[in-house]
Amino acid sequence: LLLLCHAEEAAVIVSGLRSTDVFVGESATFTCELSHPGVKNVQWWLDGTPLHNNLVTEISEQDGRIHTLTLNDVACHDSGTVTFRAGPLISSAKLLVKGISKKH
């Protein structure tokens, strides 16, 4: 009975994305935690472009609640707004890719 009541509640974002600064060539990881699993239509975006699981973009989920996006080997042009969407829920954060300083 307890489980049934819980399942009827709409999921909420427990912990949203955090803005991240990384250097060129590094990895940037974004994590969003939902209150419970089973939310449909989960999608990640970078500046309005949908992201898909591939060699440079790793998308994973744990227990259906913890959703993680890792962008590997980032370049300056990857700077922008990362958005996580799960049904009606949205969380966004900024990705800032910094160039390596050539000054000594």
pLDDT at 93 (0 to 100): 98
Tell me which residue of 101, 38, 28, 33 sits closest to 69, measured CA to CA.
28
Residue position matching structure tokens 């949205």 = 90
What structural domains and CATH numbers belong to the chain? 13-98 (2.60.40.10)
Give per-residue pLDDT as tens, 43-93: 999 999 999 999 999 999 999 999 999 999 999 999 999 999 999 999 999
pLDDT at 27 (0 to 100): 98
**Confidence class for position 40, pLDDT limits 50, 70, 90:** confident
Q: Given a cut of 60, is residue 34 above it in pLDDT?
A: yes
Question: Taking the model in full, what pTM does it have?
Answer: 0.86
- For residues 28-42, give the mean pLDDT: 94
